[in-house]
Structures are given as C-alpha cells and as structure tokens.
Amino acid sequence: MPEYLGYLLVDYSFLVLSVAQRFILFSAAGLLLVLLIARTFRLHPHRMAFIWLLYLVWLIPASAPLMPSLPQGWLAHMGLQDFSLSDPCAALPIERLGNTILPFAPFFNTKVTLFLLWFAIASFLLLRLALKRWEFVRLIHRACTLTTTDLQSLLLAQRAAYGLTRNVRLVSSDEYPAPFTIGFWRPVIFLPQTMLNQLDRSTLMVVLAHELAHIKRRDDLYILLQHIFGAIFFFNPLIRYADRQLSESREMCCDHMAVNQCRIPPRDYGHALLRVVEYFRQPALVAAPVAGFLSRDIHVRIRSLVQLPGKRKSWLPIALTLLGLTGVSTVFGGINQTPAHITEMQQARAALVHLQPVSPLPDGVLISGVDILRPMGCFMPHRDQYHSGIDLQPLGGSAPVVAFVDGRVISVTTLPAYVGKLVRIKHAGGFVSAYARLDEVWVRKGDQIRAGQPFASVGATPRTDHLHFEVTRDQAVVDPTFLLR
C-alpha cells in the first residue's frame, strides 16, 4: 500500500508540474493577446474588466489540460506540429517517473519535491486568506449598526437607484480605517467612525454609491475567488499583473456605475475620491479579500471618469479575445483525445524485421505481458490497469540486459521506491525502448549502443527480480512479445 500511494504521488506530481509549465506559457501568450486588444481598442472599463476576467478563466481549461486539439494532420500541414506543447496525458506511466534525490525518501524525486513545495506554499497562502477573511467577518460582528436618519435615507435612495432588493446593513467602528463591503447574500457596508466625523455628506454619498455598485455586481464573491486563484498560482508573476489590472478595471466599473445610476457629476465624484485619499493617505484595502473603495491608481480612475473611453455595448473586442485565446490553446496546447493503442504484432514484426531485434533478456521467462484495461489519460487510479510493457524474469539470479536493436541512450534514471534504474534508448524508425528495474547500468546518456550489447543487469534484489521492458513508436505501444518466439 505505501508503494502504491508513492506511485500515485509521483504520477500526480508529474501531472501538476506539467500543468504548471503549460500555465506559465499560456499566461504569457494570452497576456500578449489581451494587451494587443487593449492597445487596439479604446475600451470601456466594463469591457476591459470582462476581458481580464475571460483571460483568467480561460487559463484553467487551457492549462488543465481540457481543450481539444486540432487533428495532427492539420497541424503538420500548417507547419505547427513542432510548436505544440507536449501532451501530459499521453505520457506513459514509465515516462512520469523521475530521478530520486533523497536516498532515505525513495519517492522524493525532483517533481515530487516541487509539487510538495507548491502544495505547502499554496496551503499557507490559502490559510492566511481564510484568516484575513475571518478577521473582517469578526470586525463586522463587533461593529455598531448605523441608524442615523440621514445615512439610512441616503442608503434607501441609492438602493432604489440601483434596483437592489437585498437588504444592505450599514455598520461602523474605529477598528479599521477604510470603508469596505462584505457578504454574498447579506451584504454589509462598513464605514470608519472617523470618516463619518471628518468627511462631508457629499463625500459619504460617493462612498456609499461606490460600495453599492460592488454589491450590485456581487464583487465580494468574485474578489474572494480572485484571491483564491492568486494563492494557488502564486508562482506566476503574470497572474499578479493581470490580477491588478482586473482589480483596477473593477473599481473603474463601480465608479462609472455610481456616476450613472446615482446621477453624480463626474467632477464631483473625482473631487470626493481625492478627499478620501487625503483623509486616508494609504491604500489599505489593496490586498484585502473584500470589496473596498480605495485603489493604487486613483488618478487613472479620475481620468477615466472625465474622459469616458469607448462604447460599452461593443462586443467586437470580446469576440476577438475569445477567438484568439481559443485558437492559441487549441493549436499550441490542445490535447489529442485519441487514446494510446497497441500496435498489432504482425505490424510490429514487419516494422522491426530490418533492424534485426533480439530479446532484451535472452534467458528470461515471460511473467506478464502488455495489458491495457482502459484508455490511458491524465488520471490513473490504478497503475496495474495500464501495463504498457512486458515483464521478464531471469533464471538463476542476476543476469545481463542487452539492447534489443541499435540505438542511442536518451536517459538514465534512478527510479523511486528502491525499484532500481530506468534506461531509455531511441532507435531508428521512431522506436523508443525502455528498460526498468535495473540493478546496475554501464552506459550514460548519449552513448551509442549495438543490438545484443549488454548495458545493465537485473535480478540482484527482490525489487529488481524482473525486467520491465517497453517499446513505443509515435506514442503507440508496441507489443514486444514476438521477440521471445
């Protein structure tokens, strides 16, 4: 059971690291496309916010990987086949294994170590996010409900202007210095007591209008999801840039909604923004997991109010963005849904006969053959249901392992869980052979090797008591059983 769990850890570490690599590459390509769209069109903040949100959402299926691929023939015809990312779901189980780096921890290869490091940091960031969120919830519970007639009448008037039917509660205290909104279904607006004492009614009206815009858009939920997304993909600086752009676009959207719905003159709204900045003098809510009023680039928000860009109802930039992102992920990173198959024995013999193959373990006994009970995919709940090679047991203990045809060594790997070493050899005609559970290896990466040349040994320990031998050709499994006849 521990060995099985260790193999699962290795498999899923390989998958997570592959997804992370795809995520970084797609985030760069998608970001260039979004910046090109933003540069070409003079977009309204509502459209720009939607495009940034579309970009972040697109990264999930594109990197997962869940996007279907164009037919391989089409890609080859367009000359794009060499630029496509590798399909992690097509990697055979033996290809997912990597070098172990800790002798006393047999399953800790490089990929597992990186996976566990990512998991630890992401868990810490998510826990910190949950604690921050809980602090704001407790702050709301400790705050006093505002019942002043002036503020309640102002709140009712602005709720009617937005068409909000949900009840909105106003609270205040001196425990936090900036206004914010929290709550998905029962929204609460927090106003600092010092702000109520020092700012005039027109400024408070702007603050309330902005926070009600967040409630109308249900931004508290989206902001929380955005913070969770950022915590999981903390390793990518491009996501932090996109996250900031989305946050700024969201604040500008709320500014425009407040101006339009509550009929506040844009210049008056801008003056109120400046008064709040002068009152507060630092962006406390920039990294907070709640919908606030302040942001880093106040001058950009004011300029957006005075110089309203673009038409809000133009769908062309969104359509171009969606088409471009889908094209990028489909052409360069799509997943070939055709499951791996076993090459017929007659076809394998015909393709290999001119290479004069030999048995990799001349005196070995076949104890297990190629057996694929289900199509291989990204998730393998049970490794034994996908046995893509044959197992040969030596007679009389340790025995030499030979190359089955001429080739070049492309990798020498120390396998996890004390199951020996792995050697992979590339041959003519697109064939690749793999030899696992080896005791000693006498070749290095890049060495040329001849058919029948001994290069390793097997059978010296209980965990290396047999040779696992695989042959593949263009991601198709070749059944090498005919070599034994």
Nearest alpha-carbon partner for 10 in 415, 398, 451, 353: 415
The per-residue pLDDT for 209 is 93
Q: What is the pLDDT of residues 371-409, one digit of tens each?
A: 765 545 565 544 445 677 888 998 878 899 999 999 999
Q: What is the pLDDT of residues 322-354, one digit of tens each?
A: 999 988 887 776 555 444 556 666 677 777 777
Flag whether pLDDT at 231 surpasses 90: yes
Query: What's the chain's average pLDDT?
Result: 81
Flag whether pLDDT at 65 surpasses 80: no
Nearest alpha-carbon partner for 425 in 484, 386, 480, 371: 480
- Would you place residue 27 in the very low, low, confident or very high pLDDT band (cuts 50, 70, 90)? very high
Q: Can you tell me the distance from the alpha carbon of 35 to that of 201, in angstroms, rounded to the nearest whole number? A: 40
For the domain made up of 125-236+247-296, give the CATH fold. Answer: Zincin-like (3.30.2010)
Higher pLDDT, 326 or 212: 212
Give 76's contacts (C-beta < 8 A, 6+ positions apart): none
Residue type, position 131, single letter? L
Mean pLDDT of 189-193: 91
Alpha-carbon dihedral of residues 116, 117, 121, 122, nearest 10 degrees? -50
Nearest alpha-carbon partner for 203 in 274, 301, 282: 274
Work out the widest C-alpha separation in the chain, in whole angstroms. 95
Q: What is the pLDDT of residues 92-125, one digit of tens each?
A: 767 666 544 444 445 556 777 888 899 999 999 9
Q: What is the pLDDT of residues 251-302, one digit of tens each?
A: 889 999 999 898 888 888 888 888 888 777 654 445 667 777 776 677 778 8
**Residue ranges per structural domain of the chain:** 125-236+247-296, 342-484
Flag whether pLDDT at 442 surpasses 90: yes
The per-residue pLDDT for 25 is 87
For the domain made up of 342-484, give the CATH fold. Answer: Glucose Permease (Domain IIA) (2.70.70)
Q: What is the pLDDT of residues 41-56, one digit of tens each?
A: 878 888 888 999 999 9
- Report pTM: 0.77
Mean pLDDT of 117-145: 94
Range name among 27-36, 127-136, 279-288, 439-448 with the lowest pLDDT average: 279-288
- Would you place residue 68 in the very low, low, confident or very high pLDDT band (cuts 50, 70, 90)? low
The per-residue pLDDT for 182 is 92
Q: Can you tell me the distance from the alpha carbon of 405 to that of 403, in angstroms, rounded to the nearest whole number? A: 6
The per-residue pLDDT for 37 is 92
